[in-house]
Amino acid sequence: MSYEKELAAAKKAVSLAVRLSQKVQKSLLQSDVRKKSDKSPVTAADYGSQAVISLVLQRELDPEPLYVIAEEKAEDLQKNGSQAFLESITKLVNDVLASDES
């Protein structure tokens, strides 16, 4: 059984996640580091990379069933005071995905 389609999707997903992480790294300030409910640190790159990988795999492998086990929980982004952080993650993800389409 050949997994060329899956391998190509994985490479694309990781490449875009790296691009997003590098973008965050260039502008990362200490104030951009948040604490998850378990008190461990998390950045927009963590959430954004997870979102990019999930979205790209879903797009590239559709209609294959996709089950993603991920580290970051959306619950932490639904708390009061997280709106601006969520918006910055959304912008990062959209920018990286748009750069891939051009």
For the 4-101 domain, the top CATH level (class) is alpha beta
What is the residue whose two structure tokens read 């965050």?
Answer: 24
Average pLDDT over residues 3-9: 94
Are the C-beta atoms of 20 and 53 separated by less than 8 Å?
no
Residue 11: count of CB within 10 angstroms of its CB = 12
Which of 24-28, 62-66, 76-80, 86-90: highest mean pLDDT? Answer: 86-90
- What was the pLDDT predicted at 37? 83
pLDDT in tens, 75-102: 888 888 899 999 999 999 999 999 998 7
The pTM (predicted TM-score) of the whole model is 0.86
pLDDT in tens, 9-21: 999 999 999 999 9
